[in-house]
Homo-oligomer: A and B are copies of this chain.
Amino acid sequence: MGVERLTIKDIARLCGVSVSTVSRVLNDRPDVSPAVREQVLEAVRESNYVPNNSARYLVKANSDAIGLVVRGVSNPFYSDVIKAINREIDAAGYTLMMQQIGSSEDEISRGAIMEREKKLRGLIFLGGRWDYSAEELGTITVPFVCCSYTNSFGSLDRGSFSSVSIEDESAARSAVNELIRLGHRRIACLLAETDDRSISELRYRGYLAALREAGIEPDMSLVERTGSFGMDEAYAATKRLVASGAEFTAMFIIADAMAIAAIKALADCGRDVPRDCSVIAIDGLSMSEYVRPTLTTLCQPMSQIGEESVRILLDVIEGRSGCRHVTVETALRPGASVAAL
């Protein structure tokens, strides 16, 4: 898109490493030091470099391939979304090519590489950043859909991409309202970050909005953060919260898996859920119906999110419509983790 691109040799020269080192980094091989790896990826990002590996270019010109980049592979929330995407793409006669990347990796550069190598017709990003700029997205030249998230913190023109997501802020507000309705006022919040410009920040805003509407002053000693959505970190963060001595009768937790780990941590600290502390989350995993107590949670319509993403992408690819942004509804699934105060 008019951006001048460097060659693999330029990248190597810029970083002061060999061409084969750059190649190893781009192919995600393990035999590169973390520092060099980071330096090369940084240079790749800055330069809009896109590999043009001639041996890999031998794919047919009129591909039927749709790329799916899944960020954060062990997210149990994704399995039903992937299943729906897979089924819909298959049914439409396209071929799904899937790439899974870690939650700290860059989905855009991976998508751009995949687009060139596989001659994709379109891309679906399942999980990704919420703050894209138009410049970064210049490396993606096919239609794409942000699946399960959107670009709330970015500067992309809404007409240049599509998205399917829940309204995170209002879902969080509903969850916290449910606790307030039951008489809770000392409500703790377990987040990834308050300012990560993504799902965690949006759900935090919903938490604050619900408190504000109920005339409750937010207490920062009740807001605990983890570095990721991992169960191990959620467990440790909940233990820190209890150890801090902060008083609370309920917790709003931004994801089901984190909430399951938090309930375990509360139990290990001698606090019974819901007798001593109510817990509510957002996601709606099937596992949440079998833990004890069953988790009260706002369910995301996972199959619908996958189906809508494919429908929109194929509409754009096949010229039936322009880019669209769809928000889908969550539904409260009452469990046994919430009680009236």
Contacts from A to B (Cβ < 8 Å)? 27-30, 56, 58-60, 62, 64, 73-74, 76, 79-80, 82-83, 86-87, 90-91, 93, 95-100, 117-118, 231, 235, 257, 260-261, 263-264, 267, 286-287, 289-292, 294
Contact = CB atoms under 8 A, between A and B. Distances in A.
A58 B16 CA distance: 41
Given A56-B64, A264-B291, A95 B118 contact: yes
Given A90-B99, A291-B291, A291-B292, 20 more contacts: A27-B93, A29-B91, A59-B60, A60-B60, A73-B83, A76-B76, A76-B79, A76-B287, A79-B79, A82-B100, A86-B98, A95-B117, A95-B118, A96-B97, A96-B99, A97-B97, A231-B287, A261-B290, A264-B291, A264-B294
Nearest to A79: B74
A194 to B, nearest CB: 24
Contacts of A290: 231, 235, 260-261, 264
Copies of this chain held together in the complex: 2
Contacts of A62: 58
A261 B290 CA distance: 5
A83 B59 contact: no
24 contacts: A27-B93, A28-B87, A29-B91, A56-B64, A58-B60, A60-B60, A73-B83, A76-B287, A82-B100, A86-B99, A90-B99, A95-B97, A96-B99, A97-B97, A97-B98, A98-B98, A231-B286, A231-B287, A231-B290, A257-B287, A260-B287, A287-B287, A291-B291, A291-B292
Contacts of A99: 86, 90, 96
The 7 closest A-B pairs by CB, nearest first: A58-B60, A261-B290, A264-B290, A73-B83, A29-B91, A98-B98, A86-B100
Contacts of A118: 95
B74 A100 contact: no
A286 B73 CA distance: 14
Contacts of A100: 82-83, 86
A292 B96 CA distance: 38
Contacts of A28: 87, 90-91
Contacts of A73: 79, 82-83, 86
A264 B287 contact: no
Nearest to A59: B60
Nearest to A91: B29
A260 B74 contact: no
Contacts of A59: 59-60
B91 A80 contact: no
Contacts of A56: 64
Contacts of A87: 28
